[in-house]
Structure 1
Amino acid sequence: MPRLNLLEETRFEKLPVTVYADKLTASKAVAKRIADIIKTKTTKGEMAVLGLATGVTPIAVYDELIRLHKEEHLSFKNVITFNLDEYYPMDATAAQSYNVFMNQHLFSHVDIDQHNVHIPDGSLGLDDIAGFCLAYEQKISALGGLDLQILGIGRTGHIGFNEPGSAPNSGTRLVSLDELTRNDAAHDFGGKANVPSKAITMGIGTIFKAREIILMAWGTKKAPILKKAVEGEISAEVPATYLQLSDHVEFIVDEAAASDLTRFNTPWLVKDCNWNDQQLVKKAVIWLAKALNKPILKLTEDDYNNNGMAQLATANGPVYNININIFNKLQHTITGWPGGKPNADDSQRPERAEPAQKRVVVFSPHPDDDVISMGGTFIRLADQGHDVHVAYQTSGNTAVWDDDALRYIEFALDFSKSQDIDCTGLEELYKTSRSFIDTKQPNQTDTAELQTIKGLIRKGEAIAGARFVGLNDDHIHFQNLPFYDRRKASKNVSYEDDIEQTIQLLQKVKPHQIYAAGDFADPHGTHETCFNIILAALKRLSKTEAWVKDCWLWLYRGAWHEFETYEIEMCVPLSPEEVERKRLAIFKHQSQKDRPVFPGDDAREFWVRAEDRTSETAKIYNQLGLAEYEAMEAFIKWKF
C-alpha cells in the first residue's frame, strides 16, 4: 500500500499502531523484539535492561520467551528486569503477588539471575516506601535506563498503576487504585472487598525514559480505551494518552482491540471503501442514521456527502434506494417466530418455516444466562410448541455467597431434626464448613462439600427457572463441565472431556437450532470457553452426522453487552407481559439477585441489565424508523 494512503487511513491516530490478526501472532512479534535486544546486548558484552508488565496481556509473550529459551537457547544471563508495579500491601508469597506471577510465567523457566530481578516490594511499612521508590529509580538510572518497557493498558487508561490524574513526569510511588481497576481484579482476589486499594507503581516519567516502549492490547474489552489512548486528546483522565508525546512508542494490538479505531470502525471517514460489501453498507447507513438521529428513510444525499459517504451515494445511489434496501434488511430481522413460522414464506425471515416443530438446545454457560440473555425468546420457543432443551454448561458454584451455603445446610439440619432423622453427618458437615469459612482466605478454593452445596443451590434455581419457562424435567440438562472446577487450580487444562460430553448431548437431541452465549465480554472467560466447546463438538460431529448441516447456531448476548445493530440477524420483540414473564424467570435465581458475588463493573442487578439492554435495542430500532416495541432480544447466526 502506498505510504500516502496509509497516512490517510491512520490520520486519526496520534501514534504508531501495528495491528496483528490475533494476540498469539502479536505476542510472538513482541517476544522477538525482546529476544533481539537480549542477543544484541550479549554480542556487545552488555546487560539488557527490560521493563516488564504483569496481568493477562503479556502472558503469551512470556510463553514465547520461555520457548525461545528452551528450544532456541536464548539466554537471560545478561538480563536485568524491573517490573512496573505491585499491589500494596502484598506479601511476596501471596497467590496474587506479582512476584509469584513473574516466577510462574517467566523467571522460574529461564536462566535469569534472581539478583537481577527487581519488583516493587508490597510488604514494606508505609514509612519505608518513599525511600524504596527513590532507590528503585536510582537503580534504573545507574544502569543507563530501560532498553525496552512493555505495557498493557487498563480500562481506565492506566499504564502500570498510573491511574487517571497521574502526572506525566511522575516517578515510582504509592498510588490509590481506581474502582474500575479493583473491579477488574476482583475475581483474582475472591471479591472486590479483598482487592488492595493501593499499589506501588513505576511512574509515567520513568516509563518515558525507556529507549523503546511497546504497549500491547488484546480483545474487544480493550477496544474503547485503546481508541481513547490512540485518537483522543492528551489528558490526565486517560494516562495512556501521554504516550502520544513519545517518539519511541509503538502500540501492538490484535484486530479485536483495534476494532474501535476509526480506520476499522468507520473506515469511510478516512478512505475509499468497497461498497460492494453489503454488510459494510448496512453498518455505514445505520451509523449515519444514529449519528444524525434520523430515521433511515429520511436520510438525504447531503447527509451522505457531508459524512464521508459520498462515494457510496454515487456508486450505489440514489440514496433513497440505499435507504429502502437497508430498512428492509432491518425489517426482515424482526420476527415473533424465533423457531420459524410454519406454512409461511420464509425467504425474508431469519429462520426456516420447516420443520414446523424444531428440536432446540439452549446452552447456558452459567445457570442463569439462558433467562437473563434470551428469556423472552426461550419462553416464546416453548409456548410455540418446539421441542426445547436447556443445557447448563457449568455449575456456577463459584458465584454463591458463603453465608447462603451455610443457610442451606442449616435448613437441612433443622428439617432432619424436625423429622427425627439422624443428622450426625450433617452436623459434622456444618461444623467443618463453618470452620473453613471462618478462616477462608481471599480467593481460596472451597472444600469439595461446599462446592457441591453451592452447585446444588444454583441447580435448584435453574430448574425452577426452566420449569417456569415451560420445560419438563427430562429436557433440563446439567453438564457440570469439568473445566469449570479444574481451571480453578490451573489455567492450562484439557477440554477433551467437556467436548465429548457436549457431543453426547447433541447426538441425543440432534437439534435443528442451537442457542449459545456469544457474550465474550464475560470477565471470567467462561462464556467464550463454553462457546468454543460447543463449536469443537459441532465440527467433529459434522464429519459423521448428517443432521449437523441442517443445524443453525444462533448466538445471544445481553448479560454484559449487546450486539451492534448492523450485526443483528434475528430480533425477537417482546410485549410488556413477556418482559414481566422474563423478569419472573430471572427472579428464580435468588442467589444472584440483589448483589451477585462477581457483578463486574456494572452495579445494576442482572434483571435490570437485561431489561435495560433489550429496551435499548427496541429504542434503536424505533429511532431508525421501525415499529416501536417494549423490548427486543437480538441474535446473530454463526457461520461455520
Structure 2
Amino acid sequence: METNRLTKDEIFKWCSIPKEELLNQEGRKVKLEVRENREKLMVDLGNLMAEEVIEHNKRGMLTKWVLPAGPTDEYDTFTRRVNEERISLKNLWIFHMDEFLDWEGRPYPVEDSYESLEGTMNACFYGRIDDELNVPKEQRIWPRINDMDYADELCEKMGGIDTVWAGIGAAGLVAFNEAPHSYCRHISVEEYAQSKTRIVDLNEDTIVALAHRSFGACTDRVPPKSITIGFKLMLNAKRFIYMVATGAWKQTICRILMFSEPTVDYPVTIIPRYVADVTLYSTEETLDHPLSHETKGW
C-alpha cells in the first residue's frame, strides 16, 4: 500500500520558490496560468467555459462538466455570454460536486441559503440563464442520498467528463474529498482514486476555514456533513481546470499541488497521476508565498 507522506522540508522547499520562477520550474506536475488579480482570472475562466460549449455545439457534441458551487465569479461572465450570444446549453450535462447535509445526514431545503448548494447554483447560475437556452433540469445531476450510485453510473454510461472546473481547499480537498483522518483505517492512493459518491463528515480544519470565511469563526454555523462525488467520477475527465484565487488561504496548497507526488494527505495531488491535462489558474497574490521572501533560515 502506497503511503507517501510529505516532510516539512519538502513543503518548505516548494514554498520558498519565488513566484517568478514557478512557470519554468522543473518538476512541476501541472500546467500553470497566472493572472494579476481575481477579477481578471474569473473573467478569463468564464470565457474559457463559453468557448468550450460553443466549440462542442458547432461539432454537434455533448458537453459534460463537473461544476462547483464555489468559486462562482466565473459564472458572471459565462451566463452573460450565454444570454447575449444565444449560446444553447441544451447539450450541456452538469455533474455537481457536492451538497451539504445536517448532522443526521439529511439534506437542507433547496433555497438560496448557505446550507443549500443546489439553491446557490439555482441563484448564481441556472436562474440567470434565459429559459430557452438553459440546461434541462434532467441534465443537472446532483449527488443524492437516496441514490448514491446514480451520478457514477451515468458518468460511466456517458463515457466520462470533458472538463472538471474545480476549486480546492487549503488542505487539498476537491469537492468534499478530504484527507481521511483515522488511526484505524488507512486508504491508499489507488483506493482513493476509485472512491465513489458517498456521505462524509467534514474535517474539522475545513469547518474552521468555512466558518472563518463566512461566519466570524462560528463553527456551529457550518453544516457538519456532505454528500460528495468521488474521485472515480472526476478522474474520467479529459481535463481538470483548477480555479484558485483565495490569496493567503491557498498559497501553500498550490505549491503542494504543483510539486508533490500523489498522497492522500492532500487529495488534490492524486489527480495529475490519472488525468493528463491539468491546469492551475491562479493569481499573483495566491502564488506569492511568504516563505519565498524569507531571508532567515528555517
Equivalent residue number for residue 175 of structure 1: 200
Residue 87 (structure 1) aligned with residue 100 (structure 2): yes
Task: Work out whether 1:192 is the aligned partner of 2:215.
Answer: no
How far apart are 1:220 and its partner, in Å? 2.3
Query: Do the aligned partners of 1:159 and 1:240 also contact (CA within 8 Å) in 2?
Result: yes
Q: What is the alpha-carbon distance in structure 1 between the residues aligned to residue 289 and residue 262 of structure 2?
A: 18
Query: What CA deviation, in whole Å up to 9, does each residue of 1:174-232 have, x standing for no partner?
Result: 11211011122336578322423221111122211111111111122211121122223
- Contact residue 100 and residue 108 of structure 2 kept, 8 A: no
Alpha-carbon RMSD across the aligned residues, in angstroms, is 2.4
- State the partner residue of 1:159: 174
Equivalents in 1 of 2:23, 2:171: separation in Å?
29
Provide the rounded CA distance (Å) in 2 between the counterparts of 1:8 and 1:109: 36
1:341-360 residue CA offsets vs partner (Å, 9 max, x unmatched): xxxxxxxxxxxxxxxxxxxx
Distance in 2 between the 1:185 and 1:254 partners? 21
Check if 1:76 corresponds to 2:104.
no
Decide which of 187, 208, 221 is 2:235's aligned counterpart: 208
Measured against aligned partners, the alpha-carbon deviations of 1:504-534 in whole angstroms (never above 9, x if no partner) come to xxxxxxxxxxxxxxxxxxxxxxxxxxxxxxx
Deviations 1:574-630 (A, max 9, x none): xxxxxxxxxxxxxxxxxxxxxxxxxxxxxxxxxxxxxxxxxxxxxxxxxxxxxxxxx
SS of 2:56's equivalent?
helix
Q: Pairwise mapping of residues 443-462 of structure 1 onto structure 2 (< 5 A)?
A: none
Output the amino acid matched with 2:179: P
Amino acid corresponding to residue 138 of structure 2 in structure 1 = H
The equivalent position to 1:233 in structure 2, one of 233, 248, 261, is 261
Partner of 1:63: 76
Do the aligned partners of 1:172 and 1:201 also contact (CA within 8 Å) in 2? yes
SS for the counterpart of 2:285 is: coil
The answer to whether structure 1 residue 117 and structure 2 residue 140 are counterparts is yes
CA distance in 2, matches of 1:234, 1:153: 15
Q: Is the Cα–Cα contact under 8 Å of residues 94 and 140 in structure 2 kept in the other structure? A: yes
What is the letter of the counterpart of residue 260 of structure 2? G
Native 8 Å contact 1:18 1:250 kept in 2: yes
Q: Give 1:8 shift.
A: 8.1
Query: 1:228 and 1:178, CA in 2 relative to 1: closer, same or farther beyond 3 A?
Result: same
Instruction: Give the deviation of 1:24 after TM superposition.
Output: 1.9
Question: Are the counterparts in 2 of residues 159 and 239 from structure 1 also a CA contact under 8 Å?
Answer: yes
TM-score between both structures, scaled by the size of structure 1: 0.38
Residue identity over aligned pairs, in percent, reads 23
Secondary structure at the aligned position of 1:257 is classed as helix
Could you tell me which residue of structure 2 aligns to residue 38 of structure 1?
A: 53
- The amino acid across from 1:102 in the alignment is M
Instruction: Give the partner amino acid of 1:74.
Output: I
Q: Within 2, Cα distance between the matches of 1:254 and 1:92?
A: 35
**Distance in 2 (alpha carbons) for counterparts of 1:46 and 1:240:** 29
SS in 1 for 2:276: coil
Report the Cα offset of residue 240 of structure 1: 0.7
Partner of 1:224: 252
| Cα distance change, pair 253–8 in 1 and its aligned pair in 2 (3 A) | closer
Q: Residue 288 of structure 2 aligns with which residue?
A: 259
Question: TM (normalized to structure 2)?
Answer: 0.78
CA contact (8 A) 2:98 2:227 kept: yes
Q: Determine which structure has greater relative contact order: mean sequence separation of CA pairs < 8 Å that are 6+ residues apart, divided by chain length.
A: 2
Is residue 32 of structure 2 the alignment partner of residue 17 of structure 1?
Answer: yes
2:297 paired residue number: 290
**How far is 1:233 from its partner?**
3.4
Distance 1:31 1:202, change over 3 A: same
Write the deviation string for residues 101-154 of structure 1: whole angstroms up to 9, x where unpaired: 101111111122222111223xx4xxx3xxx12111111122221111111011
Determine if contact 1:168/1:242 at 8 Å carries over to the other structure.
yes
Amino acid at match of 2:210: A
- Residue 71 of structure 1 and its aligned partner are, at CA, apart by 2.4
**SS of residue paired to 1:158:** coil
Equivalent residue, structure 2, for 1:26: 41
Q: Cα–Cα, structure 1 residues 163 and 12, in superposed 2: closer, same or farther, change >3 Å?
A: same
Q: Is the 8 A contact 2:142 2:151 kept in 1?
A: no
Contiguous gaps of at least 5 residues in structure 2: 1-19, 181-186
- Once residues 57 and 123 of structure 2 are traced to their aligned partners in structure 1, the CA distance between those partners, rounded to angstroms, is 25
Structure 2: distance between partners of 1:6 and 1:87: 39
Secondary structure at the residue paired with 2:287?
coil
Tell me which amino acid in the other structure corresponds to 1:154: G
In 2, Cα distance between the equivalents of 1:21 and 1:258?
Answer: 10
Contact 2:66 2:96 in 1 (8 A): yes
The equivalences for 1:140-159 within 5 A come to: 140-159=155-174
* 8 Å contact kept, 1:38–1:76: yes
**TM-fit CA distance, 1:259:** 1.2
Please list, as runs of the form range in 1=range in 2, the aligned pairs for 1:356-371 lying within 5 A after superposition: none
In the alignment, is residue 47 of structure 1 matched against residue 74 of structure 2?
Answer: no
Deviations 1:44-86 (A, max 9, x none): 223211110112x2x1110111111232222222211110111
Cα shift at 1:7: 8.7
Check the 8 A contact 1:92/1:99 in 2, yes or no.
no
CA deviation string 1:272-313 (max 9, x = no partner): xxxxxxxxxxx4xx52x324xxxxxxxxxxxxxxxxxxxxxx
Question: 1:133 maps to which residue?
Answer: 148
Q: What is the distance in 2 between the residues matched to 1:14 and 1:256?
A: 20
CA-CA distance at 1:91 after TM superposition:
2.1
Task: State whether residues 152 and 217 of structure 1, in contact with CA within 8 Å, keep that contact through their aligned partners in structure 2.
Answer: yes
How many corresponding residue pairs?
255
**Structure 2 Cα separation of the partners of residues 91 and 7 of structure 1:** 42
What is the letter of the counterpart of residue 59 of structure 2? K
Asked whether the equivalents of residues 92 and 98 of structure 1 are also in contact (C-alpha less than 8 Å), the reply is no
Name the SS of the counterpart of 1:199 in structure 2. strand
1:99 aligned partner: 118
